[in-house]
Amino acid sequence: MGRFDGKTAIITGGARGQGRSHALRLAGEGANIAILDIADQVESVAYPMATPEDLAATERDLKDLGADVLAIQCDVRDQAAVEAAVAATEERFGAIDIVLANAGIMASYGEKSQEMAAWHDSVDTMLNGVYFLMRAVTPGLIERGRGGAICITGSTSSFRGVAYKPEMLNPGQMGYGAAKHGVLALMKNFAMVLGKHGVRVNTVIPAGVSTTMIDNDFFSRDLAGDAPGGWMANVMERGPVEPEEITHAVAWLCSDEARFVTGQALAVDMGTLLI
Ligand SMILES: NC(=O)c1ccc[n+]([C@@H]2O[C@H](COP(=O)([O-])OP(=O)(O)OC[C@H]3O[C@@H](n4cnc5c(N)ncnc54)[C@H](O)[C@@H]3O)[C@@H](O)[C@H]2O)c1
């Protein structure tokens, strides 16, 4: 008996990193899974993004866990594509119960970070893309009347600034912070309306997580390289955690154990926001 037996989860950015980890956990606990990922490069992003091979590998691994899986190459910046992916998921599985708006980019470093495209890509992916998904799943969640859980992936950048030098006020970095702050407004409003329908809306707030987004030379050189002492420090005095640590919180937020938890931003940040 799994916590998510008979449920269907739709997960953006599911090809790798945290999205993949969430998908594997939910599948391991009984869910059918739709993973959506751009599986392509966005020009303003300096580090390599997920590939079609990553998406296929995650699909295979999910199937190996016994899950029924739909893997869709989908750019969350494209509203019509998100709507089509949601419709395909509902048609295939009959319902959507769990929604993880997780896809993200960090266009904060590298040459392209100073171009306005980096702002647009960041906001389009992490604010517009989250809204497109939430808007597309809402009618079905209400009509089916069987409740549900939405979990957005925020960031400690949902609450604080991280810039410490003029170069960091670049369009990529500012777009990241603006989008991550913005999703809290989406969470609060959707939580207020969907609560009486048994649909809960929460946000997980990771600090550093060991994924390609921060495990790359650009991050180490341009952001962390000349950072002042204490930059992004946390009270537990440790570095990035593995994606599975964030998955523990996401799985709990989406489970019946959290049945009365809604409108919350749950920080799994080792106390970063205390400083
Ligand atoms: N890694 C960290 O330190 C950290 C910290 C706080 C928050 N986050 C957030 O966690 C989430 C997951 O990131 P991650 O750490 O797993 O990084 P990641 O780069 O490994 O994974 C992000 C995934 O999103 C996909 N994606 C990007 N743009 C997309 C688009 N337009 N449409 C569909 N898919 C798209 C990528 O292809 C990739 O598979 C992001 O929202 C990120 O902002 C990460």
Question: How many CB atoms sit inside 10 A of residue 146's CB?
Answer: 12
| Cβ contacts of 176 within 8 Å, gap of 6 or more | 106, 107, 108, 122, 126, 155, 157
Q: What is the pLDDT of residue 225?
A: 84
Per-residue CA distances from 116 to 47, 48, 62, 222 (Å): 18, 20, 37, 18
pLDDT digits (tens, 9 = 90+) for 108-141: 999 899 999 999 999 999 999 999 999 999 999 9
| Cβ contacts of 187 within 8 Å, gap of 6 or more | 152, 201, 202, 203, 263, 265
Token pair belonging to 205: 């707030």
The C-alpha angle with vertex 233 and arms to 231 and 237, in degrees rounded to 5, equals 145
| Cβ contacts of 184 within 8 Å, gap of 6 or more | 154, 158, 203, 265
Q: How far is the CA of 11 from the centre of ligand 1 (A)?
A: 11
Q: What is the pLDDT of residue 226?
A: 86
Q: What integer is the mean pLDDT of 190-202?
A: 98
Q: What is the pLDDT of residue 163?
A: 95
Q: What is the pLDDT of residue 240?
A: 96
Q: What is the pLDDT of residue 148?
A: 98
Q: Kindly report the pTM of this predicted structure.
A: 0.99
pLDDT of 223 > 90? The answer is: no
Mutational test site, ligand 1, from 47, 100, 105, max ligand atoms within 8 Å of CB: 105
Domain boundaries, the chain: 8-274
Question: Is the C-beta atom of 49 inside 6 A of ligand 1?
Answer: yes
Q: What is the pLDDT of residue 1?
A: 76
Q: What percent of the chain has pLDDT over 90?
A: 95
* Phi, psi dihedral angles at 205 (to 5 degrees): -120, 90
Q: What is the pLDDT of residue 248?
A: 98
Q: How far is the CA of 21 from the centre of ligand 1 (A)?
A: 12
Q: What integer is the mean pLDDT of 157-182?
A: 97
Give the confidence band of 188 by pLDDT, cuts at 50, 70, 90.
very high
Query: Distance (Å, rounded) from C-alpha 162 to C-alpha 46?
Result: 19
Q: What is the mean pLDDT of the chain?
A: 97
Question: Is the C-beta atom of 112 inside 6 A of ligand 1?
Answer: no
Q: What is the pLDDT of residue 197?
A: 98
- In the 3-class helix/strand/coil scheme, how is 162-218 assigned residue by residue? CCCCHHHHCHHHHHHHHHHHHHHHHHHHHHHHHHHHCEEEEEEEECCECCCCCCCHH
pLDDT of 273 > 90? The answer is: yes
What torsion, rounded to 10 degrees, do the Cα atoms 108, 112, 118, 122 define?
Answer: -50
Token pair belonging to 1: 């008996």
164 in active site: no
Exactly one of 47, 109, 131, 176 is catalytic; name it.
Answer: 176
Mutational test site, ligand 1, from 41, 49, 122, 266, max ligand atoms within 8 Å of CB: 49
Q: How far is the CA of 50 from the centre of ligand 1 (A)?
A: 9
Domain 8-274 classification at class level: alpha beta
Helix 79-93 and helix 129-144: axis angle, to 10°? 30
Q: How far is the CA of 114 from the centre of ligand 1 (A)?
A: 20
Question: Is the C-beta atom of 104 inside 6 A of ligand 1?
Answer: yes
Mutational test site, ligand 1, from 82, 152, 209, 218, max ligand atoms within 8 Å of CB: 209
Place of tokens 């991550």: 180
| Cβ contacts of 225 within 8 Å, gap of 6 or more | none
Question: Is the C-beta atom of 108 inside 6 A of ligand 1?
Answer: no
Give the confidence band of 253 by pLDDT, cuts at 50, 70, 90.
very high
